[in-house]
Amino acid sequence: MNVLTRYRMRMARPGADEETIARLKVACWREAYPGILPQPVLDGLDVVRSTAEWRRALGEGIAWIAEQSGAPVGFGHMRDAEVTTLYVRRQDHGHGLGRELLTHLFDEIGCLGHRAAHLWVLEENPKARHFYERMGGRLAARRPVGFARYPRITEVRYDFALD
């Protein structure tokens, strides 16, 4: 069964999907980042605050949501030439869902006239970094994430040619 028959992809609807995305992001962070991010960061995740952040984000960019049997299992967001977010629930890894979401986001970026895209990923996340490298990403930069209490946490930038 391929990704298109197992999952349904749809564009997120501003004014309707913010809480869905917020809940999914919190769940994905709590699955993906133990041992990578400090536990107080993960414990402090808040769906209400995240919902408000997604209200703004959906007003400034485009998000795609992946669903299985009507339940959200992954999503990605882009703004201008940047993929700002890409998460898939752990149980749905390995089915091509991340690749499909990223392809949708790259298509949106290309439709805006950009010939390249970029994204940032935690430096200490080898699984995600390997995925982006397999997708053609080229390591381009490194910076602190911006957590005031945790200045040593860094992220790296991957650049992608879209043509």
Three-class DSSP category at 11: strand
Q: How far apart are CA 78 and CA 84, in angstroms?
A: 5
Domains of the chain: 3-161 (3.40.630.30)
Residue 131 CB neighbours (<10 A)? 19
Tell me the chain's radius of gyration from C-alpha atoms.
Answer: 15
Per-residue pLDDT in tens (0 to 9) along the chain, 163 residues: 455 568 999 999 999 999 999 999 999 999 999 999 999 999 999 999 999 999 999 999 999 999 999 999 999 999 999 999 999 999 999 999 999 999 999 999 999 999 999 999 999 999 999 999 999 999 999 999 999 999 999 999 999 999 8
Verdict on whether the full-model pTM lies above 0.95? no
